[in-house]
Structure 1
Amino acid sequence: MMQLKTPGVYIVEQDAFPNTVIEVPTAIPVFLGYTEKAVDGAVPKAGIPTCIGSLLDYVRIFGGPPVPRFSLAPSVDQETLTAALAQRFFLYHGVKLYFMNGGGPAYVLSVGTFASVKANGIQASDFMPEPDPAIDRVAPFDALEKVPEVTLIVAPDSTLLDSADDCYRFWQAALQHCSTMQSRMALIDIHGGGTKRSHDPDGDVISGKNDGFREKIGSNFLNYGAAYYPWLNFDVVDAGSISYDNLTDAGLAVLADALKGELAAMKPQPSAQMQVHMSTLYAAIRQRLPADVAPLPAGTESRTEVIARGHQQLMQVSPLYQRVAADMLTLANQLPPACAMAGVYAQRDANSGVWMAPANTSIVGAVSPMVDISQDKQEDLNMPLDGRAVNAIRTIPTRGLVVWGARTLDGNSDDWRYINVRRTLLMMEQSIKNAMLAYIFAPNVATTWVAVQNMISNFLINLWAQGALAGAKAQDAFSVQVGLNSTMSSDDILNGYMRVSVRVALVHPGEFIVLTFQQQQPVS
């Protein structure tokens, strides 16, 4: 109490309520990948985690969608054409899927631009650059250490790396980063996750020794990661963005020749006037222009309008072109699922709580899995001998496409097997840690210990009431201990240590529901 020396009236305000623990946000991802640009006005944003609140924010800072490039080759039977992706990027459409599935605020970290990839190709050093003092280059995980709000790491473009070794080396570093920060998890897309499992000991995409996920992901910090398989067919890329202009120069030449052959084989033959028009149109495709506008006169349609009109003309007269355009659209919509899953996490957290497993739910924008997985085939994904579970996305009769797994990569651990258990404890740890900052340098005495114990207990009681903790009574759901001869010794107090022990009974998902039926003797 202060000593008063001058007569008068003095006001003393006393706190009526104790400090409280505020629950930290649980679903704020950072998306790493390639963007069209990385600049906010005149401020460069390359390599800098930047907060966005909507897809409009993303477009303003990082630009629009990429233009996929396709190659084209005659099929084996020479009767049709086979399209293949020559260049693609996943980040833009992944962020779009995140917001479509209920995502909120997020961060984006551009590791490079489309132009840089066109000049240099996709490099592993884009995701894990070596320090370079000459250009003040900062590695992504070094930059992310300065953004404590992030709780999920998603990097769809890591699957574009040519080597599975490079892809999973990045994810090993991501898992280590998550362990260091103790506040976030990695959502991992499988390299080559659109291919069907061969179950070959060497070449299987999940467990193969050459490029398999389980072989390459390592064995460290696995409880901080979750993986999803397979990739999905989405409808996020609009048909209006696909035309012959998406073909490479070589692909255009193949298409023009094939269309000429189709015209010659048409029965009945089109009129002479139509044949002239179509032949001119096919020849003009090589210059990426429709028939009657080469070259473009000044003041006429834009190049985009011209391409769109040529595309529509071809769609009306050529079944071959219709198939090629449909194939290109299908390929453009084949995307890894982790970005959409980040949105699922955010929506589930907001509607039900982080303690609810992000599973048995659909994915907005998803049409079908690229690989069909049966119940038998999921067994090795969900419960492998090494514990490195991969969560399946399946089409279930009467349910449609659903996320059918909720395990971390540490599936053999009773503590960290489930995603919601791992994420709930991360939320509790960070929330209580932030609240405890108020007691740094406070007297390490009984009054402080009681205040700390009450503050944490009130927080956990609220969580228990919401269903985050298991137990018929609050006393069964958690315990908080702090004090001399309980959590601390006299030496601890002399050395400035306040030790608090928190035990919680987290809820686990009912992954296996067993119904038992038995006939009973009828009573006459």
Structure 2
Amino acid sequence: MAEYMNYFGQGPEEKFILSIKKSNSTITDCLFTYEKEYTKTDTTTTKYIFTAQRKEKKRFTLYYQMLMFFANGGGTCYVLSAGNYKDNQLLNKNMMSNAINALEKEREITMVVIPEAVHSPDCANIQTMVLDHCSKMQNRFAILDVQAKSSENQTMMEQVKEFQTNIGNNGLSYGAAYYPWLETTILGDKDITTDMFSWSADSELDFKAFFPKDSGILNYANATIDEIIKN
């Protein structure tokens, strides 16, 4: 992992927005929610939801996937750069074409994984290119991801069918797809700091009253109320 960081650096900085809203509010794209009743001095009881959301959609994930690869016993790994994160550009088929062709020079490779392709509009094209490459080389196997739902109302079966349609029929014996997604984290307590968190401007309640300093939900964020306010 130290060698990877030497060549490619670390992952993008994590930033989260915390908020407290009434339980009937519209809540979307949350990492987690925590619901609790709160009674004001006039004995009125209202249900509120504490939420945490990523400030920006997480698309550049290779650094964290490399951490998990080595944490789970991964050994030798070849990492081939296809672009520059500074350009904030998602992978596309043109970027990947030269990169995949370059893989032909290394015979030792047995598995090909492009985890960030799943965030690309060109995901299906990139995945078919990988399958074609593995089929041509006949000594390696592709691990693919089923792309995210194309709409909120899309069912799991529709999502899988769309993936199967887009991937085509070529080279299928040289690949496999994981579904559903496995969501996990590699961050430890020492990796979480108060600088990662800020409060949403539309929070509807005095959170110092709702979540005291010894609150478990704030311990989850590894920060005290005072530290969050200060930052």
TM-score by length of 2: 0.69
Aligned partner of residue 139 in structure 2, secondary structure: coil
Q: Residue 82 of structure 1 aligns with which residue?
A: 51
The DSSP-based 3-state class of the residue aligned with 2:178 is strand
Question: What's the counterpart of residue 240 of structure 1?
Answer: 190
Question: In the aligned structure 1, how far is the partner of 2:139 from the partner of 2:22?
Answer: 50
Q: Secondary structure at the match of 2:65?
A: helix
Aligned residues: 195
Give the structure 2 partner of residue 205 of structure 1.
159
Q: 1:57 aligned to 2:27?
A: no
* 1:147 CA drift (Å): 1.6
Distance in structure 2 (CA, Å) of the matches to 1:324 and 1:237: 12
- What CA distance in whole angstroms lies between the structure 1 residues aligned with 2:124 and 2:134? 15
Give the one of 95, 120, 125 matched to 1:169: 125
Q: How do residues 5-44 of structure 1 correspond to structure 2 at under 5 angstroms? A: none
Structure 1 CA distance, aligned partners of 2:193 and 2:76? 34
8 A contact 2:91–2:117 mirrored in 1: no
Greater C-alpha Rg: 1
Runs of at least 5 residues in structure 2 that lack an aligned partner in the other structure? 26-47, 223-231
Distance 1:243 1:321, change over 3 A: farther
CA distance in 2, matches of 1:186, 1:144: 13
Report if aligned partners of 2:90, 2:119 keep a CA contact under 8 Å in 1. yes
Q: Residue 391 of structure 1 corresponds to which residue in structure 2?
A: none
Equivalent pair of 1:66/1:114 in contact (CA under 8 Å) = no
Cα offsets for 1:415-468 (capped at 9, x unmatched): xxxxxxxxxxxxxxxxxxxxxxxxxxxxxxxxxxxxxxxxxxxxxxxxxxxxxx
Distance 1:323 1:122, change over 3 A: farther
Could you tell me which amino acid in structure 1 is paired with residue 13 of structure 2?
V
Q: In the TM superposition, what are the counterparts of 1:114-513 in structure 2 within 5 Å?
A: 114-117=85-88, 121-124=89-92, 127-128=95-96, 139-161=98-120, 163=121, 166-192=122-148, 198-199=155-156, 204-207=158-161, 212-247=162-197, 252=198, 254=200, 258=203, 261-263=206-208, 266=209, 317=213, 319=215, 322=218, 325=221
If asked which structure has higher relative contact order (CA below 8 Å, sep 6+), I would say 2
Distance change (3 Å), C-alpha of 1:171 and 1:258:
same
Alignment of 1:101-120 (within 5 A): 101-117=72-88
**Structure 2 residue aligned with 1:407:** none
> Is the 1:68–1:87 contact (alpha carbons within 8 Å) kept by the matching residues of 2?
no
Query: CA offsets per residue over residues 86-140 of structure 1, 9 Å max, x none?
Result: 23232122122222222211100122343221xxx424257436xxxxxxxxx11
Residues 1:199 and 1:60: Cα distance change in structure 2 (over 3 Å): closer
Q: Taking structure 1 as reference, are residues 70 and 125 closer, same or farther at Cα in structure 2, changes over 3 Å only?
A: farther
Q: Distance in 1 between matches of 2:154 and 2:179?
A: 10
Q: Residues of 2 paired with 1:82 and 1:222: CA distance? A: 41
Return the alpha-carbon distance in structure 1 between the equivalents of residues 65 and 75 of structure 2. Answer: 14
Deviations 1:236-291 (A, max 9, x none): 122333345335xxxx3516x6386223xx28xxxxxxxxxxxxxxxxxxxxxxxx
Amino acid of the structure 2 residue aligned with 1:216: N
Taking the aligned partners of 1:321 and 1:216, their CA distance within structure 2 comes to 42
The corresponding residue for 2:36 is none
C-alpha contact (below 8 Å) 1:111/1:126 kept by paired residues: no
Identity of aligned residues (%): 30
CA 1:323–1:83: 2 relative to 1, 3 Å: farther
Give the Cα–Cα distance (whole angstroms) in 1 for the partners of residues 216 and 74 of structure 2: 40
Query: What CA distance in whole angstroms lies between the structure 1 residues aligned with 2:2 and 2:153?
Result: 36
Opposite residue 206 of structure 1, the aligned amino acid is V
The one-character-per-residue Cα deviations of 1:197-247 (angstroms, maximum 9, x if unpaired) are 8256xxx2212xxxx211211111111111112222334122333345335
CA distance, structure 1, for counterparts of residue 17 and residue 142 of structure 2: 33
Equivalents in 1 of 2:23, 2:82: separation in Å?
A: 38
Runs of 4+ in 1 over 6 A off after TM superposition: none
In structure 2, the CA distance between the partners of 1:185 and 1:154, relative to structure 1 (3 Å rule), is: same
In structure 2, C-alpha distance between the alignment counterparts of 1:128 and 1:80, rounded to whole Å? 43
Q: Which runs of 5+ in 1 are unaligned?
A: 1-54, 130-138, 268-314, 327-524
Classify 1:147/1:316 alpha carbon distance in 2 versus 1 (closer, same or farther; 3 Å).
farther
Q: How big is the alpha-carbon RMSD for the aligned residues of Structure 1 and Structure 2?
A: 3.4
Secondary structure of residue in 1 paired with 2:78: strand
